[in-house]
Amino acid sequence: MKHRQLTQTQRYQISALRVAGKSQRQIAAMLGCHNSTISRELRRNSIRGYEPERAQHQANTRRRTAFKRHKRVQWLTDWVTERLKEHWSPEQIAGFMRRKNIPVQVSHQWVYDLIHRDRLLGGRLWSFCRHRNNRGRKRRAKEAGLGKIPNRVGIDCRPKEIEHRAALGHWENDTVLQGHKQSSLVTLVERRSGYLLAGRLKRFTANQTTRTVIRLLKPIRGAAKTLTLDNGRGVLG
């Protein structure tokens, strides 16, 4: 299970699941992330309890102030390149730097991007990778448009007032799946107020999810203007 950045919706889910008495391990399983992601999130952002709004604000601040220029210096690129030529995987490189507490670190994704840039310039770093074809297949599939939602509306098309959180009525939708569709939860978060609605899904299907979302919003349908679906692909207005 990979480490990844948490979204604002997931932070509200963490807060709700903690109130429901779920352990860190259970929360991690339901959100589909690593146990240490939840542990680090709570350690960083709990002062007198865990507050998702403050946690999101602190995460945004860290991202804005992060010093990333070191990731482009030549010595770092050279060091990573040498490890790749010794047949280290990107995950091994990132893990080694993290375990040794090296002040300058990179993620495995950064290493994959380095390999891809090198290949576009005619380099051969890709030939040292153990699974050299997997990433290429994924990239080619993406470029070919495979897996895209037909006639989707991109998130960049939604009104600017939603981004500024200037008005109520703009909701974000996400689903939490535990195990192999053992149980699932659909959540709705109002962007400006942080108000959370949640409902359990009897079956993890598109129709069941749609019916649950309608049921949750029906009592307050006058307060729902837009709904952004957290599938990385679209927004429903």
Concatenated DSSP letters of 211-229 = HHHHHHHGGGGGG--EEEE
The radius of gyration computed from the CA coordinates of the chain, to the nearest angstrom, equals 21
Coil, helix or strand at residue 73: coil
CA distances from 146 to 137, 138, 142, 155 (A): 11, 9, 6, 19
Please tell me the pTM assigned to this model.
Answer: 0.39
E strand map for the chain = 170-178, 183-190, 196-201, 226-229, 235-236
CATH superfamily assigned to domain 155-236:
Ribonuclease H-like superfamily/Ribonuclease H (3.30.420.10)
Q: pLDDT for 21-63, tens place per residue? A: 899 999 988 888 888 889 889 988 887 788 888 888 888 877 7
pLDDT surpasses 60 at 93: yes
Domain residue extents for the chain:
8-65, 69-144, 155-236
Q: pLDDT for 181-196, tens place per residue? A: 556 788 888 888 888 8
pLDDT at 4: 61
Half-sphere exposure of 210 (CA within 13 A, CB side): 4
Mean pLDDT, range 3-7, rounded to an integer: 72
* CB 11, CB 58: distance < 8 Å: no
Q: Residue 138 — very low, low, confident or very high, per pLDDT cuts 50/70/90?
A: low
174 closest CA partner among 19, 17, 39? 17
